[in-house]
Amino acid sequence: MSTPGATARNLMASGSVSEGVESRRVALDVLDRVDRDGAYANLALPSRLAESELDARDRGFVTELVYGTLRRRRSVDHLVDRHVERTDVELRVRNALRMGAYQLRWTDVADHAAVDATVSAVPKRARGFVNAVLRKVARDASTYQFPTDALRLSVPDWLLDRLRSDLGDRAVPVIEAMNERAVVHTRPDGYRQDTASQEVGRLFAEVADGSVIADLCAAPGGKATHIAGLLGCSVAALDRHAHRAKLVDDAADLTSTAAMAVVADATAPPLRPGVFDGVLVDAPCSGLGSLRRRPDARWRITADDIGSLRDLQFDLVAAARDLLRPGGILVFSVCTLTDAESLHVDDRVADAFGDLLPVALSEPWEQHGRGGRLLPDRFDGDGMTAFAYRRSP
């Protein structure tokens, strides 16, 4: 199943929604909320769409405009700023320029339709200015050569530098892949889950049906319900935050699986040690691997966030080890691509726990140290890093 955004692209090619001024207005409302109120796009968008009277096709187009403009913000600002000398451009007008430039460079909407409909969506007093700037942008939007990779890829310099140092030559293709529209995958049980997350659940496939499993960082419940369904077992699904644990209950209801939400700090889990056949630590992390699905995340994450959770990640793995029975499987996963949040944590695990023996990960995982990773340039899903260990008897 494809996202509304991908559908919109097909529609735009036929020109059937390209004149929607109301779609542009709704998209601008969402962009303004993200910038002005710090709202998350994936929450602000559905809530604004619910208030609108747009049909399904126009909703898909709005999704494309919002996600694309947010994702390409650095690039579109660059395209626009070449033609703007004023520094007092109000937020809504700035977002209209960004959204116009996005359409001109990255969509199939005809240039005149992109400019006219965007101009019509801003207050009258700003229309002349937006029209003049977008007409200049339109002259070379599709052929313009960005002066740096970070500007072209629309990422902060630090992010490209960090991924270059950790991924080498794969950094640019990986970011290019994460700049594509996300594809939503729906599992047979109705839960929508990225394919990389499904690969993490499959790491438990060899554990016998009916096993006892703990998921220490479970909300919103994607992996807990996947594992419960795969193994036909109950999963003790811990999360520290009550409002997030509620999401696990919702996921269990949707999928009719026995993932039982428990609100608890998993560094001191209220569970019996030494009896679990499998324990998952899908740890909190910077989230750099899921930029495709979270278009505004690249502007929220800072260089200081990378590695800031590594003590917590290690403590969670240590708590997970105590829960395992001898011979049981522990999986530590993070939806990120940096060594600080993966290899460096595993180094500490190797030093501290000689009884956690690494299990090699097979296709589609690419070997990474003692574990594996999925990189979005070759694997069609989020970037993910995982380590599997068997506790020696």
The residues that touch ligand SAM, with contacts defined as CB under 6 A, are 197, 216-223, 238-241, 244, 265-267, 282, 284
Whichever of 68 and 278 has its CB closer to ligand SAM, that residue is 278
d(CA 100, CA 115): 6
Instruction: Give whichever of 57 and 310 is closer to ligand SAM, judged by the CB atom.
Output: 310
Cβ neighbours around 311 below 10 Å, total:
12
Residue at 291: amino acid letter? L
Please report which helix (H) or strand (E) contains residue 263, including its range: strand 259-263
For the CA atoms of 119, 122, 123, 124, the dihedral, rounded to the nearest 10 degrees, stands at 0
Cα distances (Å, whole numbers) of residue 14 to 7, 8, 11, 370:
11, 10, 5, 49
217 given a catalytic annotation: no
d(CA 259, CA 181): 31
Spatial distance between the Cα atoms of 147 and 106, rounded to a whole number of angstroms: 18
Q: Is 201 helix (H, G, I), strand (E, B) or coil?
A: helix
DSSP readout, 267-282? Answer: TS-SS-TT-EEEEEEE
On whether the CB atoms of residues 79 and 134 are closer than 8 A, the answer is: no
Q: For residues 18 and 307, give the distance between their C-alpha atoms in angstroms, rounded to a whole number.
A: 44
CA angle 292, 298, 300 (to 5 degrees): 130
CB of 240 to ligand SAM, least distance (A): 4
Choose, from 217, 233, 285, 335, the residue flagged as catalytic. 335
By C-alpha distance, which of 92, 43, 93, 94 is closest to 73? 94
Q: For ligand SAM, give the closer residue by CB, 141 or 245.
A: 245
Nearest to ligand SAM of 211, 290 (CB atom): 290
Residue 173 vs 307, nearer CB to ligand SAM = 307
Nearer to ligand SAM, 164 or 240 (CB): 240
Q: Which of 219, 366, 223, 381 is nearest to 292 (CA)?
A: 381
Q: List residues with catalytic annotation.
A: 335
